[in-house]
Amino acid sequence: MKCGQPLWPRFLPTAWVVNLAMLGPVGRMKPGPGTWGSLAGLVYFTLCFAGLPAWLVLLWSLPALYLAVALCGEAELRLGRRDPGGVVLDEFVVMPLCFLGWRLLPEAWVGGAPWAVFIGGFLLFRLFDITKPLGIARLQELPGGWGVVADDVAAALAACATLHAAGCAWSAWAGG
């Protein structure tokens, strides 16, 4: 047993664990299943979270993050591989964190087009998730599903911070 890994998924059939962790067919899409999982997460955000305040996005994200830790960690065990590429539930559940407080970004910066913020957040998340700068890579060393999910949480928060920094820089530059 990995330290701190939730035990309840052990009682689920392997097919359920693996399919939930892979978001069904999404984790099998090529190329780049992580990008497809992130894109599904962007749709999840826009449909379920886009109109909510940041505190509520955080509150609703906590159970999803725990679920991802449990299922992704168990999928690792069942597949016998560390952070398998097809396991994309982690990318999916962290996408709302990329956009915490997105409505606070200057409207002049996004030109009144929220899709520009969504595309920017998606691209920044993929950049940080793939390159894992700023110590993000070290988070993968956490045990079990915690390591699978923690690096994605950090990448999402880095994307969020970058979006807000760009918005502040735009406001300062544009005199807003």
Q: Please give the full DSSP string across 34-103, using - where no structure is assigned.
A: HHHHHHHHHHHHHHHTTTS-HHHHHHHHHHHHHHHHHHHHHHHHHHTSSS-TT--HHHHHHGGGGGTTGG
Q: Say if 133 falls within a structural domain.
A: yes
Residue-wise pLDDT tens digits, 34-59: 999 999 999 999 999 988 999 999 99
Q: Say if 3 falls within a structural domain.
A: no
Q: Say if 170 falls within a structural domain.
A: yes
Q: Which two tokens stand for residue 41?
A: 């997460």
The predicted pLDDT at position 111 comes to 66
Q: Say if 115 falls within a structural domain.
A: yes
Number of structural domains found in the chain: 1
Q: Say if 90 falls within a structural domain.
A: yes
Report the pLDDT averaged over residues 99-118.
77
Residue type, 50: A
Q: Say if 27 falls within a structural domain.
A: yes
Q: Say if 2 falls within a structural domain.
A: no
User: Among 22-31, 95-104, 114-123, which range has the highest average pLDDT?
Assistant: 22-31
Q: Say if 126 falls within a structural domain.
A: yes
Residues in the chain: 176
pLDDT averaged over every residue in the chain? 90
Q: How confident is the model at residue 1 (pLDDT cuts 50, 70, 90)?
A: very low
Could you tell me the residue range of the domain that residue 35 belongs to? 8-174
